[in-house]
Amino acid sequence: MTTEFKPDPVINAKVNQEFKKDEYEPLGKPVYVKKETALDAMAGDGGYQEEKYLGNYLRFKMKREGKRFWAGDNISEYIDNDHVKEQLIDEATEAFELVLDRLLIDRENDPNSKGTARRLAKMYFNEIMAGRYESAPDATAFPNDSEDRYEGMLVVRSELRSMCSHHHQPVSGVAYIGIIAASKLIGLSKYTRIAQWCARRGTLQEELANDIAREIAKATGATDIGVYIQAVHGCCENRGIMAHSSLTQTTVLKGAFKDDSGTKKEFFDNIKLQQEFAPR
C-alpha cells in the first residue's frame, strides 16, 4: 500500500520571503530608510545613542582592542588625562542617581542622600577602585650588585584595603611580602604602594596575592618571592553568613620560597615575629 505524500500546509507553505517595499514617501516617491537595529547599535562604536557616553566609547574601544577590563584589571592607559576621569565621574554620578531612584530613596529631599550619587562616583574612581585607573606607582630601583650586596630575606608588612568584586564589600587586612634581594632594591614604602595599587580594585583575595607577587617581581627583578595575605571580608561579616571573626589567608610562593623548605620556614617565622611585634 502506498500513501500519497501530501504537503503539510503550514510546514511546506510557500512563504513570500521578499522584503516589503518601503512605503515611506514623504516627497511623493519611495525613500529607502535604513532602520538601525539593536545589533547595529552594539557594533563598532555603538552608534550615536551609545557614544554620547565617554564610558561607552571606552568600553567599545577596549573590546575592539582585545583589552580585558575586569574589576581587578588596570586600565590606566585608557584614562590618559584628568578630563577623561572627570567626565567618567560625571557619567557614573548620573548612573548612581538612577540606582538611588530605583532603590526608592528620595535624593531630592533627604539631605543625607542629596550628594550621595556624586560621592559614590568619586569614591569609586579616586579611592576604592583607584588602582584600576591610575598607572603603577613609580618605584625607583637602586642597584644591589656591589661586593657587600644585601643577600638576605626582606619581609615587608603592608596594610591593605580592598573590595570584593562579587559584592563590592570592603576587604581589609595585611600582606606580608617577602623577597630574596636580587640585583636591585626598591624603597621600603614602595612595596606597600605597589600592594595597595593592586588592592584598590575589585579583587578576589586569591588573585590579589598573585597580582602583588607579579608586580613586586616586575619592580625588583626578584624571582624568589612570597606573599601572604590575611584579611577580613565585609561580604562575610555584613551579609550572607554574618561571620564576624572570619579570617581568610592566602599564600603565593615563588622560587626558593616554594622549593626550599628553609626559605619557606624563615618567611613564616618572620611573619610570626612581625605579628608578635605588632599584633593584628
List contacts with Zn ion (CB under 5 A).
164, 166-167, 235
When the beta carbons of 47 and 234 are compared against Zn ion, the nearer one is 234
Nearer Cβ to Zn ion (149/166): 166
Could you please report the per-residue DSSP string of 139-164?
--EEE--STT---SEEEEEEEEEEEE
Please report how close the Cβ of residue 276 comes to Zn ion at its closest, in angstroms. Answer: 31
* Amino acid (one-letter) located at 37: T
Q: In whole angstroms, how close is the CB of 208 to Zn ion at the nearest point?
A: 13
Per-position DSSP letters for 204-250, written without gaps between them: -HHHHHHHHHHHHHHHH--S-EEEEEEEEEHHHHTSTT--TT--EEE
Q: How far is the CB of 242 from Zn ion (least distance, A)?
A: 13
In the complex with Zn ion, which residue's Cβ is closer, 168 or 264?
168
Cα separation, 178 vs 180, in Å, equals 7
Q: Which residues contact 235 (CB under 8 A, 6 or more apart)?
A: 164, 166, 167, 169
- Minimum CB distance to Zn ion, residue 214 (Å): 23
For residue 105, the SS3 value is coil
Residue closer to Zn ion by CB (options 37, 246) is 246
CB of 206 to Zn ion, least distance (A): 13
Q: With respect to Zn ion, which residue has the nearer C-beta, 164 or 227? A: 164
| Cell output for 76 | 590606566
Residue nearest to Zn ion (CB): 235
